[in-house]
Amino acid sequence: MTEVDHDAAEKKRKLKKTAFALSMGALTGFLGAMAVLRIMDSEDFAGASQSVEIASLVGMLFLVIGLMVGLGTLNPKAGAKVLNVEDEEELREQRQQLLYSSVAMALAGIALIVVAHAGSTGTIDPAIALGTYVVCSVISVFVSFKSRQHSDELMRAVSTETASLSFYLVVLIGGTWALLAHLQYVAGPAPLDWLTMFWSLMLLAAFMVIGKRGMMTMR
């Protein structure tokens, strides 16, 4: 096989992998979103606000990403077809880092979902929600530090840059919203809206950082 043929075959492989990964991600996200919306439309959640619905969707997204990464890591043969890695061996090499990260993501999603459905109009007792949030947060922070210990210099830099960018996004978007609310141009963000912003803007920042570094391209 000539170099040109090899490059063409490699490009075709990457395109097929990208299409498959995007399709699986889109399908999983769609089914998850439909499940959340269907549950929210039931009689048990009839009084839920739009803030609760949005928080539930964001929490579900974290949970789905965590599960996909975790399951893909535990099954390298299947994971290599969906996750952005070179091959099964790379997944095995990054097994600890990815498993810790997937647990942190899933727990963050669970915490947000539980808190969203607590309170005076919620379906979960506030004390249970607070306890669940504390437990999920403590474990999530712990496994995040463990993941960082197994990360290389590049991933540590990505993590630091993501944290910095997410802070600026919260200040820009949340701060602007709070300012306009203070000036009585719009309704102010509810406490749950702030929590949702923390979660969603952190995820957005992560995608922006890895996109800027060219790490979105499938290998």
Could you list the pLDDT tens digit for every one of the 219 residues in the chain?
Answer: 565 555 555 556 656 656 655 566 666 666 666 666 666 666 556 566 788 888 988 998 899 889 888 888 888 887 777 777 777 787 788 888 888 989 999 999 999 999 988 876 667 888 999 999 999 999 998 998 888 888 888 888 888 999 999 999 999 999 999 999 999 999 999 999 999 999 999 999 988 888 887 766 665
Please give the single-letter amino acid code of residue 154. Answer: L
Please give the single-letter amino acid code of residue 63. Answer: L
What does DSSP assign to residue 187? P
Helix, strand or coil, per DSSP, at residue 216: coil
pLDDT at 19 (0 to 100): 61
Bridge partners of 118, per DSSP, are 124
pLDDT at 8 (0 to 100): 57
Return the CA Rg of the chain: 20
- Check if the beta carbon of residue 119 is closer than 8 Å to that of residue 126: yes
Tokens 């944290």 map to which residue? Answer: 163
pLDDT at 178 (0 to 100): 95
| Whole-prediction pTM | 0.80
**What is the Cα–Cα distance from 192 to 39, expressed in whole angstroms?**
19
pLDDT at 217 (0 to 100): 65
pLDDT at 69 (0 to 100): 87
User: For residue 58, what are the contacts with CB-CB under 8 A and spacing of at least 6?
Assistant: 109, 112, 196, 199, 200, 203
